[in-house]
């Protein structure tokens, strides 16, 4: 620890002791009744004050942050004089401190002297002779003036103040040396010949040292002159006389002030400052922020750092932190093409924050609003409309043109009524109608900077409509021309020739081009359903078919990935199990992501609450998954509580109206991650392409006279994930979205949609499986090897018989892996019928089918064991009956649909009797129908069966119909005229046979009709 630090610590202790003593004295002052006690305290404080003053003098003599080198001529003289004037130090102490402060050539001058009082005077005299020459001191001051850094930004008040202070100090110092503005001293370093003359004229040195000293001084002048030209070129003060353009930014070397740089991330800026030993507050070199004398802090957030390091200013390369100014077209639901460009100035749009309320309930939310009089209509996001439970006023069909589009897109919009209020003055409000849309803008619009009112004095007393206090920058409501002029008051303040402030009921909106430079301008241009980049990529992929050069896969990880895959795959009970292909050391680095998944699930639950049909379809898919062991519950308490070695996946539905089998598919977002964390996809190898060349597949497909296609049913879901990886596929679910306590943790046991490695694992598993049939079915194996694209088979043969053999063998091959080929298509009607029949009447039935048939026949014999009570009312008499209800439950699956009827008898004493009446089941038609249509067929059976039962029962009875299909329930409750013919006709018949008020919805688990649609054995029926 150096002397300066020791003395400072001692002074701190003394000051603390004085403060503590004074505080104690104030508390006990009334108890000090004698003058002696007061004098005692006074003596103590006087002594402490003397010690502190002595330490102040000693520290003042030692104040310096680094050694004084010979290049700093005036500093060497200044500090030596300070030490010499300090009377509290002895001569030897002064000499010791002087030595500790000097460095370089200055230190070498005095280093040879031993520590003594006599030598101190000699050393001081020698320093003055060497470094105290007036012309050198003048030259040092002039060099500092000429080497000042230019300040190009007139708004940089701090920089200008520092420049002025530096100039003032140097000019005053020169004035004390009798240097005036007209003297030739400024030319000192440019005239070597004149220097020699001046040296000879001004100095008288005793011989023989005279010649040596002059020669040495002249060489020092030459050295200093050479340094000024060999050193790195810097801007001189005289350069202010002409306009200059120079790379001033210390971060990106561009021509803007460092404090306004947005092209380098905050972290990279900090690294640059550390490497260059710069202060985080003033950006200058050779001191830290704790030693910085700059008093002004960040003008954006008021924290102790330079505004260039403020996260609110912007963070290049980080979507979540980038501050953007956005120009956007009309709202559309199509994809967009985003680009970031550098704008010389910030562009402000009319944004505001307000409170939106429902016109029918007390629900309300703070929202971000964009005023856009270039849009004809006003819009609101669907998710907010659902959250506020806004009632739909009507529907409107609109043709919407997006920016750059040639054709309009026609769409039906829901219209809702909302109330917008000023966030501070609710009395300032407006009621408007808005069209509900899925998306307004994919780009966020941050509020104007907090220092806007400081820059523009006209805004100081005004309330801005948009504020940093509201952190959400997503545009929720766009107010178009239909209500724009109801929101603005008409008052406008022009801040400059390009920026105005407009008054609205929400406050003052800033609009136009600001003075802040180098913001990132995000241009959002929405044109077509697919972005231009996607269209171009797809175009070139198709364009290069057949002519692209096969590139060898040079990935060094290919062999390693395949080796680990082969080691991890297993086969049991006709199903394959695989391990996820983890990148090295990534599995342990994965964060659980539960917070993100939970937040996304809360949004999904709101959608379920507002759309029961959507929830019914979604839950139906997951319920089927559960029955087929595709998902499982995390039931162990230690597993539920553990947040390590697991990953939670957000999920959503992808609905494909064009699909005939799987309309709704649950897709998991494996790219989701917390801020600064890795996603599951980040930690997994994508794998590599195992698919055949698509062009060659098309070429081969035209060889065959009889062609056939098929696909594997839910191919991903037929491959199990190894138990050790299943906790990384967790997700959240609830059976009751409105009950906050009904949540559960589930996890996938099969390959997931949305995981980057799933396609590779599927293709690698199929390749592995096909190898087992090289000898058993060599021809079919070869066809499948070359003509299987993902999960689609495209093959053929020369005639129907050969094609049938290929189909049957292919079916058997995939069946052994619990994969089933479906959606058979062929150009041969003969083959199609054979595929339907599978077997000719004179062919021997396979043993497997024989066993199934025999088991079914044996079950028929057991039907005689089933007993149903004949009497509906058991032992009850008619006079004991209070009420009778007929309950009919309908249900459907892809195989069958049906209905079952029960009598619900309530007795006078409160007891209940339930009696089975009848049931009807039907096999699903050969023509494929969607599941909701089959559920409707089941509901129609209920209506028809009830009509017959009512005719047979000759007493008053109340009917109640139940269905577990939310879609069918709403169909029956609605008007049949708005549906297509198939649905319309059946709803009309249901309305004819029953009243819509008699229909109710029940949970699928509590529907006895499920037994009819799914089928069950006699043994199960008995139990």
Predicted confidence at residue 105, as pLDDT, reads 66
Contacts by residues 655-664 (CB-CB < 8 Å, ≥ 24 positions apart)? 660/823, 660/928, 660/930, 661/713, 661/822, 661/823, 661/928, 662/714, 663/617, 663/930, 664/617, 664/618, 664/621
Predicted confidence at residue 522, as pLDDT, reads 44
Res. 943: pLDDT tops 80: yes
How many whole angstroms separate alpha carbon 320 and alpha carbon 306?
21
- pLDDT tens digit string along 705-735? 999 999 998 899 999 999 999 999 999 999 8
Predicted confidence at residue 729, as pLDDT, reads 93
The secondary structure element, H or E, covering residue 991 is helix 981-993
Residue 238 — very low, low, confident or very high, per pLDDT cuts 50/70/90?
Answer: very low
Mean pLDDT (whole number) for 811-838: 84
Q: Which residues pair with 511 in a beta bridge?
A: 500
Mean pLDDT (whole number) for 821-835: 84
Predicted confidence at residue 469, as pLDDT, reads 59
- pLDDT tens digit string along 608-623? 888 888 898 899 999 9
Mean pLDDT (whole number) for 192-205: 40
Least confidently predicted of 168-182, 351-365, 479-493: 168-182
Residue 127 — very low, low, confident or very high, per pLDDT cuts 50/70/90?
Answer: confident
Res. 841: pLDDT tops 60: no
Percentage of the chain beyond pLDDT 70 is 72
Tokens representing residue 1020 in the block: 């199960």
Predicted confidence at residue 440, as pLDDT, reads 84
How many whole angstroms separate alpha carbon 985 and alpha carbon 974?
13
How many whole angstroms separate alpha carbon 473 and alpha carbon 321?
11
How many whole angstroms separate alpha carbon 613 and alpha carbon 931?
13
Q: Which alpha helices (H) appear in 366-503, and where do they start and end? A: 382-387, 452-455, 481-487
Predicted confidence at residue 890, as pLDDT, reads 95
Residue 277 — very low, low, confident or very high, per pLDDT cuts 50/70/90?
Answer: confident
Tokens representing residue 920 in the block: 């009807």
Predicted confidence at residue 909, as pLDDT, reads 87
Res. 520: pLDDT tops 70: no
Res. 387: pLDDT tops 60: yes
Mean pLDDT (whole number) for 245-274: 76
> Which of the two residues, 603 and 329, has the higher pLDDT score?
603
How many whole angstroms separate alpha carbon 289 and alpha carbon 133?
36
Residue 949 near residue 942 (C-beta atoms within 8 A): no
Predicted confidence at residue 184, as pLDDT, reads 42
Least confidently predicted of 230-234, 325-329, 916-920, 1012-1016: 325-329
Predicted confidence at residue 962, as pLDDT, reads 96
Q: Which alpha helices (H) appear in 231-366, and where do they start and end? A: 266-275
Least confidently predicted of 11-15, 189-193, 765-769, 903-907: 189-193
> Which of the two residues, 135 and 596, has the higher pLDDT score?
596
Residue 133 — very low, low, confident or very high, per pLDDT cuts 50/70/90?
Answer: low
Percentage of the chain beyond pLDDT 90 is 20
Across 164-178, 245-259, 877-891, the highest mean pLDDT is recorded for: 877-891
How many whole angstroms separate alpha carbon 845 and alpha carbon 852?
11
SS3 299: coil
Give the chain's count of helices (H) and strands (E). Answer: 31, 31
Predicted confidence at residue 613, as pLDDT, reads 85
Residue 664 — very low, low, confident or very high, per pLDDT cuts 50/70/90?
Answer: confident
Longest dimension (CA), the chain: 148
DSSP one-letter code for 724: G
Q: Give the pairing type, strands 336-342 and 664-668.
A: unpaired
Res. 30: pLDDT tops 70: no
**Average pLDDT score, the chain:** 77
Predicted confidence at residue 546, as pLDDT, reads 57
> Which of the two residues, 971 and 858, has the higher pLDDT score?
971
Q: What angle do CA 328, 329, 334 make, to 5 degrees?
A: 105
Res. 968: pLDDT tops 90: yes
Res. 362: pLDDT tops 80: no
Mean pLDDT (whole number) for 843-849: 64
End-to-end CA distance of the chain: 89
Cα-Cα-Cα-Cα dihedral of 91, 92, 94, 97, to 10°? 180
CA distances to 241, 263, 313, 322, 349 from 254, in Å: 22, 9, 17, 19, 27
Residue 139 near residue 195 (C-beta atoms within 8 A): no
- pLDDT tens digit string along 980-1005? 888 999 999 999 999 999 999 999 88
Q: Give the pairing type, strands 520-526 and 351-358.
A: unpaired
How many whole angstroms separate alpha carbon 1023 and alpha carbon 770?
43
How many whole angstroms separate alpha carbon 565 and alpha carbon 584?
14
Res. 559: pLDDT tops 60: yes
Mean pLDDT (whole number) for 954-965: 90
Predicted confidence at residue 723, as pLDDT, reads 92
Does the pTM surpass 0.85? The reply is: no
Q: Which residues pair with 399 in a beta bridge?
A: 410
DSSP 61-118: HH--SSPBPTT-HHHHHHHHHHHHH-TTS-HHHHHHHHHHHB-HHHHHHHHTS-S-HH
Least confidently predicted of 159-168, 268-277, 738-747, 762-771: 159-168
Mean pLDDT (whole number) for 118-139: 71
Res. 518: pLDDT tops 70: no
Q: What angle do CA 39, 42, 48 make, to 5 degrees?
A: 145
Q: Burial of 352 by CB count in 10 Å (0-12 exposed, 13-18 middle, 19+ buried)?
A: buried
How many whole angstroms separate alpha carbon 99 and alpha carbon 122?
13
How many whole angstroms separate alpha carbon 562 and alpha carbon 568?
10
Tokens representing residue 456 in the block: 């523009």
Res. 122: pLDDT tops 80: no
Rg over CA atoms, the chain? 43
Predicted confidence at residue 47, as pLDDT, reads 85
Residue 84 — very low, low, confident or very high, per pLDDT cuts 50/70/90?
Answer: low
Res. 360: pLDDT tops 80: no
Res. 857: pLDDT tops 50: yes
Predicted confidence at residue 236, as pLDDT, reads 40
Query: Locate tokens 């004949």: which residue?
Result: 870
Least confidently predicted of 237-251, 475-489, 623-637: 237-251
């Amino acid at each position: 620890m150096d002397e300066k630090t020791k003395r400072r610590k001692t002074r701190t202790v003394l000051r603390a002791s004085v403060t503590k003593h004074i505080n104690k004295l104030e508390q006990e002052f009334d108890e000090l009744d004698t003058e002696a006690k007061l004098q005692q305290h006074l003596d103590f404080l006087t002594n402490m004050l003397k010690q502190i003053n002595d330490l102040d003098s000693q520290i003042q003599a030692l104040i310096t942050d680094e050694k004084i080198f010979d290049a700093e001529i005036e500093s060497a003289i200044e500090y030596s004089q300070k030490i010499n004037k300090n009377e509290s130090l002895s001569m030897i102490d002064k000499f010791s401190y002087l030595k500790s402060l000097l460095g370089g050539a200055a230190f070498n001058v005095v280093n040879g002297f031993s520590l003594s009082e006599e030598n101190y005077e000699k050393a001081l005299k020698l320093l003055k002779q060497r470094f105290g020459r007036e012309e050198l001191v003048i030259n040092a001051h002039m060099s500092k003036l000429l080497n000042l850094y230019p300040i190009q930004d007139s708004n940089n008040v701090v920089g200008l103040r520092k420049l002025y202070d530096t100039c003032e100090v140097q000019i005053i110092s020169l004035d004390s040396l009798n240097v005036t503005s007209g003297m030739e001293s400024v030319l000192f370093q440019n005239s070597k010949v004149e220097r020699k003359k001046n040296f000879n004229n001004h100095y008288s040195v005793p011989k023989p040292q005279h010649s040596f000293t002059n020669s040495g001084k002249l060489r020092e002048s030459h050295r200093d002159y050479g340094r000024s030209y060999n050193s790195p070129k810097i801007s001189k003060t005289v350069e202010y006389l002409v306009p200059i353009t120079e790379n001033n930014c210390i971060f990106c070397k561009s021509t803007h002030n460092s404090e306004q740089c947005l092209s380098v991330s905050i972290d990279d800026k900090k690294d640059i400052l550390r490497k260059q030993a710069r202060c985080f507050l003033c950006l200058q070199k050779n001191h830290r922020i704790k030693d910085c004398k700059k008093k002004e802090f960040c003008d954006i957030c008021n924290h102790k750092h330079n505004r260039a390091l403020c996260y609110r200013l912007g963070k290049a390369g980080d979507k979540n932190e980038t501050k953007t100014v956005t120009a956007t077209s009309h709202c559309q639901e199509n994809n967009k093409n985003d680009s970031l460009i550098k704008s010389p100035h910030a562009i402000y749009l009319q944004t505001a924050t307000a409170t939106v309320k429902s016109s029918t309930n007390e629900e309300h939310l703070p929202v971000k609003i964009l005023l856009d009089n270039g849009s004809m209509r006003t819009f609101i996001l669907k998710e907010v409309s659902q959250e506020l439970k806004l009632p739909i006023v009507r529907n409107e069909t609109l043709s919407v043109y997006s920016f750059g589009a040639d054709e309009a897109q026609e769409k039906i919009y829901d219209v809702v009524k909302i109330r917008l209020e000023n966030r501070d003055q609710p009395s300032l409000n407006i009621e408007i109608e808005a069209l509900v849309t899925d998306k307004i803008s994919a780009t966020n619009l941050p509020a104007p900077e907090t220092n806007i009112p400081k820059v523009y004095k006209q805004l100081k007393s005004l309330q801005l409509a948009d504020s940093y206090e509201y952190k959400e920058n997503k545009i929720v409501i766009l107010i178009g021309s239909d209500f724009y002029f109801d929101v603005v008051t008409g008052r406008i303040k022009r801040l400059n020739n390009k920026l105005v402030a407009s008054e609205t009921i929400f406050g003052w909106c800033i609009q136009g081009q600001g003075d802040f430079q180098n913001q990132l301008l995000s241009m959002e241009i929405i044109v077509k359903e697919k972005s231009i980049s996607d269209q171009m990529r797809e175009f070139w992929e198709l364009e290069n078919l057949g002519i692209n050069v096969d590139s060898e896969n040079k990935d060094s990880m290919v062999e390693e990935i395949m080796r680990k895959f082969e080691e991890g795959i297993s086969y049991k009970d006709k199903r394959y199990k695989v391990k996820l292909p983890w990148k090295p050391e990534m599995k342990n680095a994965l964060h659980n992501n539960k917070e993100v998944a939970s937040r996304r699930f809360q949004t999904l639950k709101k959608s379920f609450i507002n759309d029961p049909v959507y929830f019914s379809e979604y839950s139906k898919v997951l319920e089927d998954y559960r029955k087929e062991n595709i998902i499982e519950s995390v039931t162990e308490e230690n597993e539920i509580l553990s947040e390590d070695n697991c990953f939670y996946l957000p999920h959503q539905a992808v609905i494909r109206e064009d699909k005939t089998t799987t309309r709704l598919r649950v897709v998991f977002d494996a790219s989701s991650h917390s801020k600064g964390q890795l996603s599951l996809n980040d930690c997994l190898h994508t794998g590599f392409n195992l698919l055949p060349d698509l062009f060659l597949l098309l070429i081969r497909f035209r060889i065959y006279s009889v062609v056939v296609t098929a696909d594997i049913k839910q191919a991903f879901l037929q491959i199990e994930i190894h138990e050790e990886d299943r906790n990384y596929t967790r997700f959240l679910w609830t059976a009751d979205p409105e009950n906050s306590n009904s949540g559960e943790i589930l996890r996938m046991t099969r390959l997931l949609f949305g995981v980057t490695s799933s396609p590779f694992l599927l293709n690698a598993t199929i390749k592995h499986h096909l190898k087992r049939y090289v000898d058993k079915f060599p021809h079919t194996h070869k066809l499948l090897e070359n003509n299987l694209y993902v999960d689609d088979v495209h093959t053929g043969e020369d005639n129907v018989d050969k094609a049938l053999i290929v189909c049957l063998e292919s079916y058997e091959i995939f069946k052994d892996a619990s994969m089933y080929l479906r959606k058979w298509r062929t150009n041969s009607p003969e083959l199609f019928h054979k595929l339907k029949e599978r077997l000719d009447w004179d062919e021997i039935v396979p043993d497997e089918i024989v066993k199934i048939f025999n088991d079914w026949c044996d079950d028929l014999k057991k039907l005689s064991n089933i007993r149903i009570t004949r009497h509906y009312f058991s032992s009850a008499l008619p006079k004991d009956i209070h009420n009778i209800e007929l309950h009919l439950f309908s249900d459907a699956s892809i195989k069958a649909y049906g209905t079952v009827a029960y009598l619900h008898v309530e007795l006078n004493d409160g007891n209940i009797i339930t009696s089975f009446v009848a049931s009807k089941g039907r096999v699903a038609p050969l023509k494929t129908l969607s599941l909701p249509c089959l559920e409707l067929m089941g509901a129609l059976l209920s209506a028809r069966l009830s009509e017959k039962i009512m005719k047979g029962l000759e007493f008053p009875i109340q009917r109640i119909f139940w269905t577990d299909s939310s879609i069918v329930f709403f169909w029956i409750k609605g008007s049949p005229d708005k549906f297509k013919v198939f649905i319309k006709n059946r709803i009309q018949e249901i309305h004819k046979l029953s009243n819509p008020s008699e229909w109710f919805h029940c949970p699928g688990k509590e529907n006895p009709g499920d037994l009819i649609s799914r089928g069950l054995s006699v043994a199960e029926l008995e139990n």
